[in-house]
């Protein structure tokens, strides 16, 4: 399988190419550079493997939640490629992708939890809770956007770590949440390599969508964003 994965859902911009089990990635922290960087990253990855877009079997992208403007960029590129190449798409939760990264980098034990928090602005966080299951993140609660004071951890998982920039609000989170989290990493952000790893199994199992259904997930009503011009 040859799968191209993209992410522009946060301050990072990245593209990853997965060929069978060999993964290459380009990543740069550039909050305002997504449009400028993304396609050169794609071309560089393909060129390094002597491939053209038509050689790809599937496409994947971090579908959100995340930056409204950033999500639109990756969605537009993936939709354009998928339409033109007639290839299937795997949308991957940005929260789940970071949970996967935490499982890999922090050596999360089987059955333990990863609570992912992104800064959603307007004094809110995007919140996702996952359990490590065979090395992959398994959602144990519905993803949501809410004030830090309203986050919660499912009782079904006992040990948790917290990751994502939204944890800079941890002093405003309930004491019961903070007491159950053994460590926090606010620097972890989405990477296309993690998106690719999660998309690989989904693509092989046929859990894909056509280009028209490759849509961003905002969690927050788009109307709320329209009240804040220029915010992304």
| Residue range 136-171, pLDDT digits in tens | 999 999 999 999 999 999 999 999 999 999 999 999
Residue that the structure tokens 């409204």 belong to: 68
Return the pLDDT at 138: 98
Residues 6+ apart with CB under 8 A from 19: 1, 2, 49
Element spanning 28, H or E: strand 22-29
pLDDT-based confidence at residue 31 (cuts at 50, 70, 90): confident
Domains and CATH numbers, the chain: 2-93+190-226 (3.30.420.40), 95-185 (3.30.420.40)
Mean pLDDT of the chain: 94
Element spanning 155, H or E: none
pTM (two decimals) = 0.93
Q: Establish how many alpha carbons lie within 13 A of residue 232's alpha carbon, considering only the half-sphere containing its beta carbon.
A: 17
Q: Percent of the chain having pLDDT more than 90?
A: 92
Mean pLDDT within 180-186: 97
């Amino acid at each position: 399988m040859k799968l191209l994965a993209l992410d522009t859902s946060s301050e990072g911009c990245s593209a990853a190419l997965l060929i069978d089990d060999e993964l290459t990635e380009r990543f740069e922290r550039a909050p305002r550079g997504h449009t400028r960087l993304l396609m050169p990253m794609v071309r560089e990855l393909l060129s390094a493997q002597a491939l053209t877009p038509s050689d790809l079997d599937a496409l994947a992208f971090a579908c959100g939640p995340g930056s409204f403007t950033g999500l639109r960029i990756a969605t537009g590129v993936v939709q354009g490629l998928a339409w033109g190449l007639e290839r299937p798409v795997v949308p991957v939760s940005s929260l789940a992708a970071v949970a996967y990264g935490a499982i890999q980098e922090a050596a999360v034990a089987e059955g333990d939890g990863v609570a992912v928090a992104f800064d959603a602005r307007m004094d809110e966080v995007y919140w996702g809770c996952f359990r490590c299951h065979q090395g992959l993140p398994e959602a144990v609660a519905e993803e949501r956007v809410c004030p830090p004071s309203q986050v919660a951890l499912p009782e079904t998982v006992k040990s948790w770590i917290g990751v994502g920039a939204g944890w800079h609000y941890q002093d405003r989170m309930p004491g019961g949440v903070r007491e159950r989290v053994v460590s926090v990493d606010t620097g972890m952000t989405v990477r296309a390599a993690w998106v690719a790893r999660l998309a690989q199994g989904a693509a092989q199992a046929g859990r894909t969508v056509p280009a028209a259904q490759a849509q961003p997930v905002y969690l927050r009503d788009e109307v709320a964003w329209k009240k804040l011009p220029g915010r992304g």
